[in-house]
Structure formats: structure tokens, C-alpha cells
Amino acid sequence: MKRFISVVFFLFLAIALSGSIYQQQVTSTVKEELNINDFNITPTPVKTTLTLVEDRMTVENPTYTRVPTPTPTPTPTQVSLPYVECPENGEDYICFGDYYKELPKTGWEDNNIIPKYIVLHWDGRPEKPYNKWLSTGTWFGLGSAKSSHFGVGIDGVGQFLPMFVDSVKQSKAADNWVFDAQCINIEIAGRNFNAIVTEEADDEMKTTIETVTNFTLELVVKLMRQYNISIENVLGHYQVLNGKVDPGDLWLQEYFLPKLRNLIEK
């Protein structure tokens, strides 16, 4: 019996050893045939895409409503009137001068006209002294038989007759009733205005003529604007009545009108 058990033990031992040797041979063979170093495999990186969602909220198919930009309301431009109201002279009176001093009613016609022309005069004041070229002197010089809507001197502009938005009172200055019935007359203090063009004027006379010219230019622009008078209808006294030379043809054509044109074309 002991002999039989020994034989069986050695038989199992032999079988176990043979299996282990076979497994070692197979493993060795596989390692020799499948050498992993020979494959040169480079691992492929995995690309990961991250989507950032603000506040972890997702909006599907968003719609947008366009809000129109409001258009600002333009501020209206304040256009200054060429005149000031003169209620103290009467209802609806307007004034363009630095002061109002009405001439005696015997010197003008008490009827309203629509002005189409502006006629310029000089009042024939002696050349010297130049500091006497005053609009107040023009007022006294016109007296009670003559009239002009304005007098211009180195002291500024005086208005001598009533004027309204669409019409003016008729003056007696041009000695031409056709023009007096449709014009505004302006008397400028002084004489011989051509001297500033011919260069005969001394420095004091030149300065005085420049001063009265500038005051007259400012006034004429206001009147043209108020009564819709064209520059072609700004005339000298000599152009409406034969024998008159005021306010000087050279002064008017070469000095005054070019300056006036520049002002109205600005």
C-alpha cells in the first residue's frame, strides 16, 4: 500500500513539473516573437473641448430686439431781430437806431409806405471840426420842412420817423416824390466822402469817414433784412436826382457797396 501511494505521488509531481516547464517555454517564445520595443508606438493625446457657459446658463435660439436710438430734438436757433420794439412811441412801433427822436410832423407825410429802396445822403456838414459830425446835428439841420428816417454820425444812429414791421412813414428828403414814396432815406453827417478813396483825407477825416461808414453799414444791413431790399436798390442821392453829388459816387461804388456786399454774403 505504501508503495502504491509513493508511485501516485511521484506521478503527480512529474505532471506538475512538466506543465510549469511548458508554460515557461511558451512565455519565453511569445516574448521573443512579440518584442514590444519593435512597434515604436506613440501615444495619441486626447483633445478635450471645454465650453464655458456664463453662470452655467445656456440660452437656445436667442432673439434680439433692436432698440432705436432716440433722435435728440434740435434746439431752435435764436435769430435776433434787426430792430427793437418801441412801445413808448406807439403800438407796433419798431426802432433800429441808438435812440429815437421824432422830427416835427410838418416835415414828413403821415402815411405808411412799403420801402423798396434805401437812399443815402450826406448832410453837408462843414469838413472841420470832424467831432461835430453828429446825428443830433443832422436832426436840427433838417428843421421842420425836411425829414429823413435816420441820421448817422460819429455818435451812432438816430431814428427820426415812425417805422413798423412791414412799412414806414414817408419822409421828405430825396426831393423826388417818386422815390420818397417808396424809399428809406438816411442822412450821414459830413461831406466829401470821396476823399477816403482819392486819399485826400487826412488821418482825422479818414477815421471819421470810416466811423460813420461802419455805423451806416450796420444800419443798412438791418433795413435790407427787415424790408427785403436788395443791394441793387441801395442808391445814392445823386442817382435819384440830377444835380446832387451826395454821398459821393466814388465812396458809394468803390468803398461802401463792396463792404456791404461782403457783409450780406457772409
Where do the domains of the chain lie? 2-66, 84-264
Which helix H or strand E contains 95, and what residues bound it? strand 94-95
Dmax (CA) for the chain in angstroms is 181
248 SS3 class: coil
| Euclidean distance between CA atoms 236 and 239, whole angstroms | 5
| More confident: 47 or 225 | 225
pLDDT score recorded for residue 94? 92
Looking at mean pLDDT, say which of 54-63, 91-100, 200-209 comes out highest: 200-209
pLDDT score recorded for residue 243? 92
pLDDT greater than 50 at residue 5: no
| More confident: 101 or 50 | 101
pLDDT score recorded for residue 177? 84
| More confident: 42 or 79 | 79
pLDDT score recorded for residue 210? 98
| Euclidean distance between CA atoms 174 and 185, whole angstroms | 7
Average model confidence (pLDDT) across the chain? 79
- 106-123 residue pLDDT tens: 999 999 999 999 999 999
pLDDT greater than 70 at residue 37: no
| Euclidean distance between CA atoms 196 and 208, whole angstroms | 10
What distances in angstroms separate CA 7 from CA 2, 13, 16, 144, 235, one per listed residue? 9, 10, 15, 174, 159
pLDDT greater than 90 at residue 142: yes
- 11-22 residue pLDDT tens: 544 444 445 444
Does the N-terminal peptide bond of residue 62 adopt cis geometry, omega within 30 degrees of 0?
no
In this prediction, residue 54 has a pLDDT band, given cuts at 50, 70 and 90, of very low
Q: Are the CB atoms for 150 and 159 separated by under 8 Å?
A: yes
Bridge partner list, 184: 118
pLDDT greater than 90 at residue 76: no
pLDDT score recorded for residue 7? 44
pLDDT score recorded for residue 88? 64
In this prediction, residue 31 has a pLDDT band, given cuts at 50, 70 and 90, of very low
Q: Which CATH number fits domain 84-264: 3.40.109.10, 1.10.357.10, 3.40.80.10, 2.60.120.10?
A: 3.40.80.10
CB under 8 A, 24+ apart: contacts of 33-38: none
pTM over 0.75: no
pLDDT score recorded for residue 92? 81
What distances in angstroms separate CA 133 from CA 33, 75, 143, 189, one per listed residue? 132, 44, 17, 5
What is the mean pLDDT of the segment spanning 52-56? Answer: 44
Bridge partner list, 122: 188
pLDDT greater than 80 at residue 66: no
pLDDT score recorded for residue 39? 36
- 180-221 residue pLDDT tens: 999 999 999 999 999 999 999 999 999 999 999 999 999 999
pLDDT score recorded for residue 150? 97
pLDDT score recorded for residue 188? 98
Phi, psi of 92 (to 5 degrees): 70, 10
CA atoms within 13 A on the CB side of 103: 33
| Euclidean distance between CA atoms 98 and 151, whole angstroms | 10
What distances in angstroms separate CA 192 from CA 52, 106, 121, 211, 215, one per listed residue? 92, 30, 11, 14, 17
Q: Are the CB atoms for 179 and 219 separated by under 8 Å?
A: no
